[in-house]
Structure 1
Amino acid sequence: MELNFKEIFTAFMVLFAVIDIIGSIPIIIDLKKKAGHIESRKASIIAGVIMVIFLFVGKSLLNLIGIDVNSFAVAGAFVIFFIALEMVLGITLYKDDEGDSMTTSVFPLAFPLMAGPGSLTTLLSLRAEFAIENIIVAVICNVIVIYIVLKTSSKIEKMIGANGIKIIRKVFGVILLAIAVKLFAHNIKELLA
């Protein structure tokens, strides 16, 4: 096993862009308000575990249940689309009756926001290019960044202020909508081909 820092850095940057934890700050703050508290460590670890497991068994698992990667990505695009609609329109589509922090930490935070169809399908394509140990190190580095952002989201909120959060929320909502549309369009084209 030989670690290649170029591969690790490239895989890290690709995953970092796809996970977009910085862009998710408004969603994290919103979920924190709904649930009262988010278990940062659990959410980060669960996201990391999902990504590493999917790296090894993702394609086989999807094939086993008769789902191709494109169908998986289209389904994920819908989830991202509805989260983005909430952000842009200021409405609540996702309701968690119990509002407990463990449930919120897992859904929709760890999955599908961080370890979602974008990052999972990216992992499958990275696996074709890079050594698996380098991808795992890149995933671990992203999990550390995710944890830091989750832990400091309240401080970030104080720095930006309530109006700043609203503006960022709307802007990132539109960006998230665009990502959902792109994910949908690219994968529906593959499905129909």
Structure 2
Amino acid sequence: MSALFIKAFLTLFVVMDPVGLAPVFVALAGTRPPFEQRRIALRAVLVAGAVLFAFALGGAWLLEHLGISLAAFRIAGGILLFKIGFDMIFAHRERETEEEKEEAVHREDISVFPLAIPLIAGPGALASVMILAGEARGEPLGVALVLGTAGLVLGLCYYSLRLAGYLARLLGRTGVNVVTRILGVLLSALAVQFVGDGVRVLLLAE
């Protein structure tokens, strides 16, 4: 169980990237009053949590009805995670288009889009939580552990949003870039592991 917790925590922490959320939040909501920033941060985390928990609990049922094996989804998720990690390393992160970014700045409520989706509960996070929940079904309380770990990382995301201004000033642009690139390397390694595990299961099933 400890190995599952460490794997789930590292995967979700890297994918959701609480540190990287800070400068984005400053850019989108830095000029708003503190009480409004708190409201936006709380709502964004709650919406993202609801989406992630739904995918963790219902993801296997969805895959079954679509005729997709967990191994195939693990490979697809690994490829997607590698793309995200690659973009993080080379600063080519494309969580939203320029038009979406411009709209988000002027949007009245930014908590659902782009904060909750796709910044927190993005494709990589959804794929990760589904894979982790699938791996944990053979373990007692495994799914509960994955959900609890997701809740822990979501809590870190919330406090990162709350402390966004302070973190941005503390780390500076260079510090944020360094942390993002380190997390990108870790995410790429985890993605390769996901693909390797999925390929092995498919080959053994033949």
Q: Which range, TM-score by smaller chain?
A: 0.7 to 0.9
Given candidates 138, 143, 147, the residue that maps to 2:154 is 143
Deviation at 1:104, TM superposition (A): 2.0
Deviation at 1:59, TM superposition (A): 1.3
> Whole-Å Cα distance in 1 between the matches of residues 178 and 148 of structure 2?
34
Q: TM-score, normalised by structure 2?
A: 0.70
Partner SS, residue 130 of structure 2: helix
Which amino acid in the other structure matches residue 130 of structure 1?
A: P
Partner SS, residue 185 of structure 1: helix
- Report whether the alignment pairs 1:118 with 2:123: no
Deviation at 1:19, TM superposition (A): 0.9
Partner SS, residue 161 of structure 1: helix
- Report whether the alignment pairs 1:85 with 2:89: no
Given candidates 14, 19, 23, the residue that maps to 2:12 is 19
Q: How does 1:70-109 map to 2 (within 5 A)?
A: 70-96=71-97, 97-99=99-101, 100=104, 101=110, 102-105=112-115, 106-109=117-120
Deviation at 1:175, TM superposition (A): 1.7
Partner SS, residue 155 of structure 1: helix
Deviation at 1:137, TM superposition (A): 5.0
> Whole-Å Cα distance in 1 between the matches of residues 95 and 81 of structure 2?
12
Tell me the equivalent position of 1:52.
Answer: 53
Asked whether the 8 Å contact 2:25–2:161 carries over to 1, the reply is: no
Which amino acid in the other structure matches residue 203 of structure 2?
A: L
Q: TM-score, normalised by structure 1?
A: 0.74
Q: Describe the shift of the 1:112–1:41 C-alpha distance in structure 2 as closer, same or farther (beyond 3 A).
A: farther
> Whole-Å Cα distance in 2 between the matches of residues 174 and 133 of structure 1?
27
CA deviation string 1:59-114 (max 9, x = no partner): 1111101112222222222322222222222235444222224332211421234x
Q: How high is the sequence identity, in percent, across the aligned residues? A: 20
Which amino acid in the other structure matches residue 183 of structure 1?
A: F
Q: Describe the shift of the 1:28–1:140 C-alpha distance in structure 2 as closer, same or farther (beyond 3 A).
A: closer
CA deviation string 1:37-77 (max 9, x = no partner): 49432332233223332343221111101112222222222
Q: What is the RMSD of the two structures over their aligned residues, measured on CA atoms?
A: 3.2
Which amino acid in the other structure matches residue 66 of structure 1?
A: G
Structure 2 residues without counterparts, runs of 5 or longer: 30-36, 105-109
Which amino acid in the other structure matches residue 28 of structure 2?
A: G
> Whole-Å Cα distance in 2 between the matches of residues 90 and 56 of structure 1?
33
Tell me the equivalent position of 1:170.
Answer: 181
> Whole-Å Cα distance in 1 between the matches of residues 188 and 5 of structure 2?
24
Tell me the equivalent position of 1:4.
Answer: none
Alignment: residue pair count: 184
